Amino acid sequence: MSPKVNLMPTTNLYPLIERIGNLLRTEIRKTGNNLGLQPVHMQALDYLSQCNRYSDTSAAVTDYLGATKGTVSQSLKVLERKRYITRVTDAKDRRVQHLKVTESGHDVLATSLPPETFCEASDQLSEFDRNQMVGLLTQMLRELQIANQSKSFGICKSCSFFCSDGAQYQCGLTKEMLSTDDSEKLCREHSVNAVVKQVEV
């Protein structure tokens, strides 16, 4: 088998992203230590603060973090014990437990993520440069998700299942109506082939 040839060198890109990731994890670890939390706890809490009602279960957290069920289960127990999240039984299927971030949990995130040092560094870039970076990194993330056959966990309104008539929103997969808040949140069932459809009457 012939060796794989890189058409575009990534020798400059990978170490930069890897180093930025390490520095961010270090900052998150410092903040978490003051609260008795590990980075994985902070990541789970952050995800649950951003996801919609279809994606706030322990299974969805496991998928999002790419961690083991055991790790996620223990992490959620820590967050519950500290009263940063609470469990709510689904109104339609009592076997399903939704994980909701409490006011204390939101307070932790508001003062911790993103790290202050990251915000200061980001503020040194122009709005144009930040927007360009977001677009390029989003594209790279999607390519990695496709390569790893992992879920995209994108924003609801950018999904191919998202339906709108300009005044109302609906999930084309579940046929349930969506609020404006729903449309702005992360979804486990997100599809990257985004085409906005009309609400079914």
User: Greatest CA span in the chain, whole angstroms?
Assistant: 56
On whether the CB atoms of residues 156 and 182 are closer than 8 A, the answer is yes
CATH of the domain at 105: 1.10.10.10
Q: pTM of this prediction? A: 0.80
Note whether 105 and 79 are same-domain residues: yes
Q: In the prediction, which pLDDT does 201 show?
A: 46
- Which residues constitute the domain of residue 171? 125-183
Q: In the prediction, which pLDDT does 188 show?
A: 85
Note whether 160 and 109 are same-domain residues: no
Q: Which residue has the tokens 């144009």?
A: 128
CA atoms of 114 and 93, how far apart (whole Å): 35
CA atoms of 54 and 161, how far apart (whole Å): 13
Question: Quick one: which H or E segment has residue 140?
Answer: helix 127-147
CA atoms of 181 and 133, how far apart (whole Å): 25
Q: In the prediction, which pLDDT does 83 show?
A: 97
Average pLDDT, 10 consecutive residues per value, the chain (201 residues): 52 89 94 94 96 93 93 97 96 91 97 94 96 92 82 83 86 87 87 58 46
Q: Enumerate the β-bridge partners of residue 89.
A: 97
Q: In the prediction, which pLDDT does 200 show?
A: 58
